[in-house]
Amino acid sequence: MSTDYRTERDSLGDVRVPAEALYGAQTQRAKDNFPVSDLRFSRRFIAALGHVKQAAAHANHDLGRLDAETADAIAEAAREVIYGAHDDEFVVDIFQTGSGTSTNMNANEVIANRASEMMGETRGSKAVHPNDDVNMSQSSNDTIPTTMHVAARMGLERDLLPALEALHDALAAKAEAFDDVLKSGRTHLMDATPVRLGQEFGGYAAQIQHATQRLERASQRLSEVTLGGTATGTGLNCPDGFPETALQHLTNATGLSFYETNNHFAQQAGKELYLDAHGALNTLATALLKIANDLRHLSSGPTSGLGEIKLPVIQPGSSIMPGKVNPVQSEQVMMVAAQVTGNHQTITMANTHGNFELNVMMPVMAHAMLQSIDLLANSIDAFRTKCVEGIEADRERCRELLELNPSIATALNTAIGYDQASTVAKTAAAERQSVRKVVKSMNLLSDAELDEYLDVRRMTEPGVPGDA
């Protein structure tokens, strides 16, 4: 960046701003005031903020408050923001004023200066004014929370939900392919009654389906936004018709529905809809962790673990142990899940600071939400393509472990009673023999009765062994 500067003035006085910068005095102050981290708002948030500013410009023109030339210039500058032309101009740290005013003004100044240039004026001239024109009919206190909802919906609908649908389909395909694979069930990490490998994968698919449904509902609820509440929820300086007009423009531009809340006080100070939406992400994260960890255990080995499934080999697993291969995709999913649950705690804590008419932790809430959405979408895509779709069943190993599973004796409860069946199970475990062999050695049942009661496939379905 050049060392040349221009001088701009805000309500506190003169500020030196890099000559070529599209941002202005208030952004420069925020940049200087908050040297806290290297975290900035994501591409998704900036695009959403551009959409809100563009919709506001169109609405203010429709209502006769902004002339056509100025409105068109603002809308075109906002369009450039939407498509990423000025991302390097959004320089304010996530950890800033809790209303997000610094970032709102960052957008206002970038758009105002770019619009001024389009109208033949210079940067810093305020020919298009960042407050009077770009921020017309708005406040940071309704613009930022609206942008939070818009950005979250864009991420959910365009990235995460499609990723979940593809993962569900991949798991469902494995459930079908593995439906004939009989294996040991496990509870408490201990051998339990038989299941089919396809049933396990069907359970995983159902978990993803349920997570998808929760997120679809959460996304729809985020359609309710605060635009029109201005500073405290009263709508001061917001003309009649602005919210619905602006939100119709926003809906048309994004392809996602948005409508004005019926209580700005609740939505500007309380972020329960946002917290609820991230709650669905948090629930998804725990489901993904369970699935990924199951696959990690099921593939453990090759000689000392379960080894019931084989995961795709995608990279060497050790810097010192030759030939070792690790379940790396499961592990990245588990780490993403840990980060998402941490983000949920952040949003939960932040939502407790909706003091009076404004929540003062909105930037960190937005950052946490969008990070969770992006991490989950990217993680799921990698997990599906590089792991799930390539999983194979080790049928021989499943059969081997199942034959030694003492919990098969559960099917004998109705024939020989719980106590006798317990003796059989303990003996089978101690002697590492099959339940069938132990029962035969004890002369408890005939071969025909054993065939009836120890039909493993039937054990994986509802019913009582021995019943006709």
For residue 468, the model assigns a pLDDT of 64
Q: In whole angstroms, give the CA distance from residue 269 to residue 263.
A: 10
pLDDT of residue 322: 87
CB 361 within 8 A of CB 348: no
What whole-number distance in Å separates Cα of residue 358 and Cα of residue 267?
Answer: 9
Please, is 61 exposed, middle or buried when counting C-beta atoms within 10 Å of its C-beta (0-12, 13-18, 19+)?
buried
User: How confident is the model at residue 250, as a pLDDT?
Assistant: 98
Please give the Cα distance from 463 to 154 (Å, whole number): 47
For the CA atoms of 409, 413, 418, 424, what is the dihedral angle to 10 degrees?
Answer: -30
Mean pLDDT value across residues 130-134: 98
Model pLDDT, residue 3:
65
Q: Considering only CA atoms, which of 254, 279, 271 is closest in space to residue 372?
A: 279
For 404-459, give the CATH class.
mainly alpha
Other C-beta atoms lying within 10 Å of the C-beta of residue 320: 5
Q: Tell me: pLDDT of 216 over 80.
A: yes
Identity of the amino acid at 174: K
**What is the percentage of the chain residues whose pLDDT exceeds 70?**
99
Give the 3-state DSSP-derived string for the chain, with helices as H, strands as E and coil as C.
Answer: CCCCEEEEEECCEEEEEECCCCCCHHHHHHHHHCCCCCCECCHHHHHHHHHHHHHHHHHHHHCCCCCHHHHHHHHHHHHHHHCCCCHHHCCCECCCCCCCHHHHHHHHHHHHHHHHHHCCCCCCCCCCCHHHHHCCCCCHHHHHHHHHHHHHHHHHHHHHHHHHHHHHHHHHHHHHHCCCCEEEEEECCEEEEEEEHHHHHHHHHHHHHHHHHHHHHHHHHCCEECCCCCCCCCCCCCCCCHHHHHHHHHHHHHCCCCEECCCHHHHHHCCHHHHHHHHHHHHHHHHHHHHHHHHHHHCCCCCCCCCCEECCCCCCCCCCCCCCCCCHHHHHHHHHHHHHHHHHHHHHHHHCCEECCEECCHHHHHHHHHHHHHHHHHHHHHHHHHCHHHCEECHHHHHHHHHCCHHHHHHHHHHHCHHHHHHHHHHHHHHCCCHHHHHHHCCCCCHHHHHHHCCHHHHCCCCCCCCC
Does pLDDT of 225 surpass 90? yes
Q: Which of 127-131, 252-256, 291-295, 320-324 has the lowest mean pLDDT?
A: 320-324
Sign of the alpha-carbon dihedral angle for 373, 150, 163, 385: negative
Structure tokens at 376: 């989950």
Q: How far apart are CA 240 and CA 450, in angstroms?
A: 80
Residue 330 has pLDDT above 80, yes or no: yes
- Could you tell me which of 399, 424, 397, 404 has the C-alpha nearest to residue 413? 424
Examine the pLDDT at 166 and tell me if it is beyond 60: yes
Angle 19-367-132 from CA coordinates, rounded to 5°: 45
- The contacts of residue 104 (CB under 8 Å, 6+ apart) are 49, 135, 140, 143, 144
Q: How long, in residues, is the chain?
A: 468
**Which pair of tokens denotes residue 350?**
């932040």
Which amino acid is residue 133, in one-letter code?
D
Please enumerate in sequence order all residues whose Cβ is within 8 A of that of 129, keeping only pairs 6 or more positions apart, or say none: 112
* Chain centre to alpha carbon of residue 179: 30
328 pLDDT higher than 60: yes
Out of 2, 86, 140, 188, the active site residue is: 188
Q: What does the mean pLDDT of the chain come to?
A: 97
Please state, in angstroms and as integers, the Cα–Cα distance from residue 98 to each residue in 211, 243, 356, 360, 363, following that order: 31, 23, 14, 4, 6
Percent of all residues in the chain with a pLDDT value above 90, rounded to a whole number? 97
Decide if pLDDT at 1 tops 50: no
CA distances from 204 to 190, 194, 379, 422, 463 (A): 20, 17, 16, 31, 24
Integer Cα distance of 439 and 190 in angstroms? 22
Given the candidates 1.10.275.10, 3.40.50.150, 3.40.710.10, 3.30.300.30, the CATH classification of the domain at 22-136 is 1.10.275.10
Q: How far apart are CA 466 and CA 211, in angstroms?
A: 39
Write down the domain spans for the chain: 22-136, 142-235+265-395, 404-459
Rounded alpha-carbon distances, angstroms, from residue 251 to 143, 391, 458: 15, 41, 54
Look up the pTM and report it. Answer: 0.96
Q: In this model, does residue 451 exceed pLDDT 70? A: yes
Options 37, 318, 441, 446, the catalytic residue: 318
pLDDT at 396: 97
- Domain 142-235+265-395 listed as CATH 1.20.200.10: yes
In this prediction, residues 362-367 reach a mean pLDDT of: 98
CA distance 273 to 261: 11
Task: Note if 318 is an active site residue.
Answer: yes
pLDDT in tens, 75-122: 999 999 999 999 999 999 999 999 999 999 999 999 999 999 999 999
Q: How far from 159 is each of 45, 68, 139, 363, 380, CA to CA, in Å?
A: 14, 35, 29, 21, 10
- Cβ count near 230 (within 10 Å): 22
pLDDT at residue 363, as a whole number: 98
| 310 DSSP β-pair partners | 392
